[in-house]
Structure 1
Amino acid sequence: MDETGNDAGRDAARAKLPWELHPALTEERLAACARLLARGRADAVAHADPWMGDDAWSIGCRAYSFSRNRLRQAAEGGRYRWLGVLDATHHFVFLIEGVPVRFFRGDAEEPSKRTLRQQESEAQQLALALGDADRAEGLMFCLAVETGEGGEVTRVVFLALRGEDGAAECFWPVPLDHADVSAPPGRNAGAALTPPLAAGTMRRRG
């Protein structure tokens, strides 16, 4: 396919909305999940101690764990009746009214091969949620958490990806305001984190 065709395909994906894929994937629910992920990462950044050895890798691991825990606690505490957990392991899959969704930290435009690996339980749950095994074949729903050089969240994008190449059938930036992604006050928040996370430890988006 030529460059024009690829651009047309991406434009079509961006035009498709999550709730057109499944009515459970509403803007309000996706925004709530994105806020939980953003706040989990903000907590990890705020509590990082670069002078004790924290770096982009350790902060990233902690941020994934904190974000996962935010979702799990919200589900178990009944904060959102539509929120559940399908897989509580490091693969972590949560549910929005029975629809399986994952999250990852990285460029929404370029999901990694690891991101595209799908567990059998996740595939089965999606087929059940969609009510159509053929429609669910090779399909997965993800939230991509994009970050800046200091580890802060810059954007969260809902993706519907299909196949080994991760063809995007939906690319929808979740509306978030500054309060959703800001680090809470803490001894290591702000500029103190910047020196150990110099340019090159995290890729700058173009």
Structure 2
Amino acid sequence: MSQPLPWDLDKRLEKERVDVIARIILDTRAETLLLHDEDAGDSPWGLGCRSYDRTKNRIIMLAEDGRYKWLAADKRAQFRFLIGGAVCGFYRGEADAPTDRTMRRRADELEQQSFLFEDERLVLIWRFAVSTAPTGEVTQISFVGLSSEEGQVIAKYDFLPANDGVLVGLDNNYKKEEAESVPRKGARRKKDGERLDAKGSSEE
């Protein structure tokens, strides 16, 4: 049996909706990577914290913006957001190797509906897994449905970025030219659909 896509199991998780969040993660981490300067004392840990914080706040801003009626988010310490009512999160790491922290669920996640998979009724944990290279660029973003018991990948979608963005106009205080003015060894500009991004912290 082939591995289902998230929207095969939960109709609320439409591909277009998942793509919007994946693009936010990719774009925000790429911008943050351009601001990273090891010669000035920046560390990988600091890069991860900054990437996580910006990504979280971008999702919150997009939810508050009202452009996407299906998106909701709050500012609680254990950050989660809702895609059509389905509770989701994101973390840095491989899709098939979630940590205990990644698997941790909030009270509202414990009420997620169950799905039938291979004759077994499962409650899935929905997460965006962000894989990164040692230099910080993103190598893959996968949206996965993990079994709540063992963290097994039940459903998976690998995001392939296009050239459109969703960040324009969300944060009037953020200017892309600010990032472009900061030199960084090895930093590369995204062009012609190239995928690049920043290293994140272990659980986001």
Q: Where do 1:162-181 residues align within 5 Å? A: 162-177=147-162
Bigger helix share:
1
1:43 aligns with 2:31: yes
CA distance in structure 2 between the aligned counterparts of 1:123 and 1:186, rounded to whole angstroms: 45
- What percentage of residue pairs aligned between the two structures are identical? 33
Distance in 2 (CA, whole Å) between partners of 1:32 and 1:172 is 13
Name the CA distance, whole Å, in 1 between partners of 2:143 and 2:41: 33
User: Structure 1, residues 72-94: CA drift from partner, whole Å, max 9, x if none?
Assistant: 10100112111111x42342111
**Whose RCO is larger (CA < 8 A, sep 6+)?**
2
**In structure 1, what is the Cα distance between the partners aligned to 2:69 and 2:17?**
11
- Match for residue 71 of structure 1 among 59, 62, 71: 59
Instruction: Please name the residue that 1:185 is paired with.
Output: 180
Q: Is the 8 A contact 1:108 1:157 kept in 2?
A: yes
Distance in 2, matches of 1:131 and 1:106, equals 25
- Matched letter for residue 84 of structure 2: E
Deviation at 1:17, TM superposition (A): 1.1
Partner of 1:96: 83
Root mean square deviation of aligned Cα = 2.8
Q: Which consecutive segments of 4 or more residues in structure 1 shift more than 3 A?
A: 134-137, 177-180
| Structure 2 unaligned regions, length at least 5 | 166-175, 189-198
- Give the structure 2 partner of residue 143 of structure 1: 128
Cα separation, 2, equivalents of 1:50 and 1:90? 28
Residue 100 of structure 2: aligned partner:
113
Q: Is the 8 A contact 1:123 1:140 kept in 2?
A: no
Counterpart-to-counterpart distance in 1, 2:6 and 2:100: 23
Change (3 A) 1:164 1:186: farther
Indicate the SS of the match to 2:49.
helix
Whole-angstrom distance in 2 between the partners of 1:30 and 1:17: 11
TM-score between the two structures when normalised by the length of structure 2: 0.75
- Aligned partners of 1:151, 1:179: CA distance in 2, in Å? 22
3-state SS, counterpart of residue 139 of structure 2: strand
CA distance in 2 between partners of 1:81 and 1:144 (Å): 24
User: Any gaps of 5 or more consecutive residues in structure 1?
Assistant: 1-10, 194-200
Residue 6 of structure 1 is matched in structure 2 by none
Paired amino acid for 1:12: S
Please state if 1:30 is matched with 2:2.
Answer: no
